Structure 1
Amino acid sequence: MDSGLIAAYRNTDYRVRLARGSFASLHVDAPVPAALRALVGPRRWAFITAWNPFSQRRPREQNHAAQQSLLAALQKLPSTAAIHPAIGVGQDWREPSFFVVGPELAEMDALAQQFQQNAYVHGLAEGYARLRLTSGEPPRGQAG
């Protein structure tokens, strides 16, 4: 994966929808905002999408169908405590996403690979948002 694509992921604004229509933003290598810490508690979390596999633009209808399949898969995970609507906002793109409370890293790695995502963002409530690269075998963790 080229450094430009990793830089784009690192510079994305990962927005999680909160009650009453407000948002809290996650940024790679930054602390989790207070509003999200309160939402997550001591659990793990992940920010993931099924849009644009391998960061290649795809028709909206295909993206929407994949996103619905991802939601169904997330709902079946035994570790999922909550799923919140979210959106990743880059310099010239937006991707509907999910903020998932409670998933295990291995579960998210498997889903990211199933839905052909190069990376996703994850962490713990009291920690930092981390970019996890998943396009290799096995997933490589934090992007350098």
Structure 2
Amino acid sequence: MRQLQVVDAAELALAYAAAEYAVALDGDALPLRVGRPARDLEAYWPAARYVFVSAWNPASQPHSDSANQTADERLVARLVAAGVQRHAAWAQDQTGQWREPGWLLADLDDALANALARDFGQAGVLAWRRGEPVRLRMLIARPPDAESAEHTDWVED
């Protein structure tokens, strides 16, 4: 497992929570937002729980497209080997200048989801149970100056 060196974890959590997320299902792009239910997605693709994860730009540090695509291929291979259901998804900042492809996964155990994200150097994922608002799960230590956010969880191992 990688140890992430994040310069400002509190700022990163705020950026992740404000980001725009979407999943591609049968030609439609269904939006996901932290703190809001994902009713359209859940009606379209029923599951007990959901996780959005990306292999791109570990620790939110830019990497080349080639390096990111290689990491994504490794992630997909792991998902296929584990039999995890997935759909293409993405995250982007509100200006559209920072965009990362990823995967929306169904019914993945929380511990496995966290381990998978950490193995690919990710500081956070979206994770929620059907019928509940989308939550941001930060996988790094919560800094003392981090503002409390209703739909952000900090998980340390």
TM-score, length of structure 1 as denominator length? 0.87
The 8 Å contact of residues 47 and 107 in structure 2, kept in 1 or not, is answered as: no
Amino acid at match of 2:33: H
Deviations, residues 13-61 of structure 1 (Å, cap 9, x unaligned): 1110011x211111111111x2211234241110010000000000110
Could you list the structure 1 runs, at least 4 aligned residues long, displaced by more than 4 angstroms after superposition: none
**1:10 pairs with 2:20:** no
Instruction: Provide the identity percentage.
Output: 30
Name the SS for the 2:55 alignment partner: coil
Matches within 5 A, 1:120-135: 120-135=125-140
The secondary structure found in structure 2 opposite 1:110 is helix
Alignment of 1:62-77 (within 5 A): 62-77=67-82
Q: Say whether 1:50 aligns with 2:50.
A: no
Q: Aligned pair count?
A: 136
Supply the AA of the counterpart residue of 2:66.
Answer: E
Deviations 1:82-104 (A, max 9, x none): 21001111132000110111101
Q: CA deviation at 1:125?
A: 1.9
In 1: Cα distance, 2:88 partner to 2:58 partner: 19
Question: Does the 8 Å CA contact 2:118/2:139 hold for their aligned counterparts?
Answer: yes
- Tell me, in whole angstroms, the C-alpha distance in 2 between the residues paired with 1:8 and 1:16: 19
| SS of equivalent to 2:113 | helix
Q: Where does structure 2 lack aligned partners over 5 or more consecutive residues?
A: 1-7, 142-151
Does the alignment pair 1:113 with 2:118?
yes
Contact 2:51–2:128 (CA<8 Å) still a contact in 1?
yes
Stretches of structure 1 that go unaligned for 5 or more consecutive residues are none
Q: In the TM superposition, what is the alpha-carbon distance from 1:120 to its structure 2 partner? A: 0.3
CA distance in 2, matches of 1:9, 1:62: 22
Instruction: State the distance in 2 between where 1:24 and 1:13 align.
Output: 11
Q: Contact 1:88 / 1:97 at 8 angstroms: preserved in 2?
A: yes
Q: Aligned with 1:28: secondary structure?
A: coil
Partners in 2 of 1:40 and 1:107 — Cα distance? Answer: 21
**Partner residue of 2:153?**
142
Q: Is the 8 A contact 1:113 1:135 kept in 2?
A: no
Higher Cα Rg, which structure: 2
